[in-house]
Amino acid sequence: MSRFWTDKIASLDPYVPGEQPQDKKYIKLNTNESPYSPSPKALQAMAAEVNESLRLYPDPNCVSLKKSLAQQYQLETNQVFVGNGSDEVLALAFMGYFAAGKPLAFADITYSFYKVYAGLYGIEPKLIPLNDTFDIVARDYQDLDVSGVVVTNPNAPTGKALPLADIEVILQANPDVVVLVDEAYVDFGAQSAVGLVNQYPNLLVVQTMSKSRALAGIRVGYAFGHADLIEGLERLKNSFNSYPIDRIALAGATAAVEDTAYLQEICEKTIATREFTVKALNRLGYELLPSATNFVFATHPSKSAEQIYLSLKEQGILVRYFGNKPRIGEYLRITIGTDKEMQALISALQTL
Ligand code: PMP
């Protein structure tokens, strides 16, 4: 607290990322990073970019990256926006499209940053409860008087995916506001709404390089939507920071988007490891929600989530525990690492 803080600063309730402790080397299964290296082609492209050209500003419009993304997802370049991680894309979208005086609809259990952005921009959240099986129910998103809708597909931290038909129900029920579909984990097994962009002018699909493309460290996220929606985001971005993507990130992200074979290879590995992990955890008595992501959401009928979390931490394994959150306090979110890391997790859980 400082006497220089405005009421605005004092009122904020900032996002708390998963812990990144520096005291020892942990097996990190708490922040949904990829256990695999980024594409070797991306690493090469970034290394090549470390040269005298760094004295120059990067391309403020990120044209090379937008072109690659547009080509990959069969859209026009002006239907693509890129930002410094999808968090920045979300921050701009909330500021631009949802701060319109009405509440913003999103699930009661979902990515906790949405509430933080809502607080930052003075948006009132209209929380739509997941049902008893932790599913988003599309018909609950009808007849809302809201400034917009955010749907996370697959949802986090539950890991559950929503069929595309349900996304369409939500889009059709809310034609006069932006429906943002956050697809941070979509490559691990859900249906993307990208193919609906030309059909629904109110659809904004947000994705990231941080998960399936193993590039959390360079901070690149992107959005697909109608050219007018994208232009709105560009206007905001250029009123805030014209160069959010640095030269190295731009080179790495572009090469990563073009290396589709590598994306497929590491996603398949993660999915195979997830399936083996699910079976092993089931055998140990854990109950898991079906996951379409690079993490599982697990609870044990008789063991406390807090005890499991603490004991794993003591054994050098970090998972995400949501102790203070309603409905999910007895659940742990466990990122899918390598086979070896998941074996270590299972061995550690066997000792409990
Ligand atoms: N959306 C969801 C649902 C997430 O879980 C995350 C990762 N914490 C993000 C967006 C943001 O990812 P990034 O900023 O790394 O692109």
Model confidence pLDDT, tens digit, residues 145-167: 999 999 999 999 999 999 999 99
pLDDT (0 to 100) of residue 270: 98
Quick check: 17 pLDDT over 90? no
Which residue is closest in CA terms to ligand 1's atom 12?
A: 86
Pocket test for ligand 1, best of 113, 160, 205, 212 (most atoms within 8 A of CB): 113
pLDDT for res 232: 98
Going from the C-alpha of 15 to that of each of 116, 117, 332, the distances in angstroms are 6, 9, 19
Beta bridge partners of 192: none
Domain boundaries defined on the chain? 7-37+261-350, 40-259
Q: For 253-303, what is each residue's pLDDT tens digit?
A: 999 999 999 999 999 999 999 999 999 999 999 999 999 999 999 999 999
Instruction: Give the class (CATH, top level) of 7-37+261-350.
Output: alpha beta
H/E element, 317: strand 317-321
Q: Whose CA is nearest to atom 1 of ligand 1?
A: 184
The CB density around residue 253, as the number of other CB atoms within 10 Å, is 29
Q: What is the DSSP letter of 239?
A: T
Cβ of residue 221 lying under 6 Å from some atom of ligand 1: yes
100-123 pLDDT, tens digit per residue, is 899 999 999 999 999 999 999 999
| pLDDT above 90: residue 38 | yes
The structure's pTM equals 0.97
Which of 86, 88, 153, 207 has most ligand 1 atoms within 8 Å of CB, for mutation?
A: 86
Q: Which CATH class is domain 40-259?
A: alpha beta
Q: How confident is the model at residue 50 (pLDDT cuts 50, 70, 90)?
A: very high
- By C-alpha distance, which of 309, 205, 256 is closest to 45? 256
The tokens of 128 are what?
A: 């739509």
Q: Is 86 in the pocket of ligand 1 (CB under 6 A)?
A: yes
Which tens digit of pLDDT belongs to each residue from 56-87? 999 999 999 999 999 999 999 999 999 999 99
Cβ of 30 closer than 6 Å to ligand 1, yes or no, is no
Which atom of ligand 1 is found nearest the CA of 88? 14
